[in-house]
């Protein structure tokens, strides 16, 4: 329907709904393995929105530093890795370099640990200069060290002031850190015989019309 019947003349409402749906973002495939797209060299172009698979991570971080909230980017890195800082290497194929006080040289994206790369992917998604109406993150805590749960929760809470953020997680440390940030609504899900329900919420009251 939204593909074929939405047009400005006869389907203005459907067209508006389609454009709103298109702006929503879902991040559930951010890879961090050695062959992850985020680790590959990439052309540094204007990228206000991180791709769903993180392919354009380097360009997205550079865009945040150039036209987005550079202070929030610096704070997110410092909060997670005290004493660390990001530097954007020059050139068309340059990229973020992470300086850490315990290392003698900065590390590129291809050299980072899975957890560090995962955190930077989440930072790039959450600090987008073009925030959506709705952002959904599925198990963002994957590959992260437990010490990164409070920084991630803080970042999620800050982003929720600009857009609606839905986080799907089974990690008690992250859930606890999010609850400590305030302005968070927790919905507990339960699965019984293949059916998923929210036992703490009142179910919708469906009223079916008579035939």
* Alpha carbons 129 and 67: distance in angstroms, whole number: 7
| Separation CA 208–CA 153 (nearest Å) | 41
The answer to whether 122 touches 51, Cβ cutoff 8 Å, is no
Q: What is the pLDDT of residues 41-91, one digit of tens each?
A: 888 899 999 999 999 999 999 999 999 999 999 999 999 999 999 998 876
Looking at residue 14, what is its pLDDT? 82
If you average pLDDT over residues 24-46, what whole number do you get?
92
pLDDT of residue 11: 72
Q: Is residue 136 a contact partner of residue 166, using CB atoms and an 8 Å limit? A: yes
- What was the pLDDT predicted at 92? 63
d(CA 146, CA 192): 30
As a whole number, mean pLDDT of residues 157-183 equals: 93
CB distance 100 to 107 below 8 Å? yes
User: What is the reported pLDDT for 168?
Assistant: 94
CB atoms within 10 A of CB 28: 13
Tell the residue number behind the tokens 């968070």, with chain if given. Answer: 184
Q: State residue 91's pLDDT score.
A: 67
Using DSSP, state whether 166 is helix, strand or coil: strand
Contact 182, 154 (CB under 8 A): no
Domain ranges of the chain: 12-197
Determine whether domain 12-197 maps to CATH 3.40.50.300. yes
Residue 102: per-residue pLDDT: 80
pLDDT tens by residue, 77-132: 999 999 999 998 876 666 889 998 888 899 999 999 999 999 999 999 999 999 99
CB 90 within 8 A of CB 149: no
Report the percentage of the chain scoring pLDDT > 90. 63
d(C-alpha 143, C-alpha 159), whole Å:
21
Instruction: Say how far apart CA 41 and CA 106 lie, in whole Å.
Output: 16
**Residue 176 confidence (pLDDT):** 93
- pTM for this model (two decimals): 0.88
- The mean pLDDT of 169-181, rounded to a whole number, is 93
């Amino acid at each position: 329907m939204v593909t074929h019947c939405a047009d400005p003349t006869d389907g203005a409402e459907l067209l508006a709904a389609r454009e709103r749906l298109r702006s929503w973002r879902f991040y559930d495939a951010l890879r961090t393995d050695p062959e992850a797209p985020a680790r590959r060299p990439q052309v540094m172009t204007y990228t206000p929105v991180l791709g769903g698979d993180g392919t354009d991570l380097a360009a997205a971080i550079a865009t945040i530093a150039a036209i987005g909230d550079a202070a929030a980017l610096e704070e997110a890195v410092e909060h997670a890795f005290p004493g660390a800082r990001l530097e954007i290497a020059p050139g068309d194929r340059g990229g973020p370099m992470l300086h850490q006080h315990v290392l003698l040289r900065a590390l590129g994206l291809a050299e980072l640990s899975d957890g560090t790369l995962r955190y930077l992917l989440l930072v790039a998604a959450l600090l987008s200069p073009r925030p959506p109406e709705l952002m959904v993150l599925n198990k963002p805590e994957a590959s992260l060290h437990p010490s990164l749960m409070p920084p991630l929760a803080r970042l999620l809470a800050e982003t929720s002031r600009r857009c609606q953020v839905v986080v799907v997680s089974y990690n008690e440390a992250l859930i606890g850190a999010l609850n400590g940030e305030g302005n968070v609504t927790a919905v507990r899900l339960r699965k019984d015989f293949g059916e998923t329900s929210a036992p703490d919420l009142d179910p919708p009251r469906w009223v079916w019309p008579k035939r």
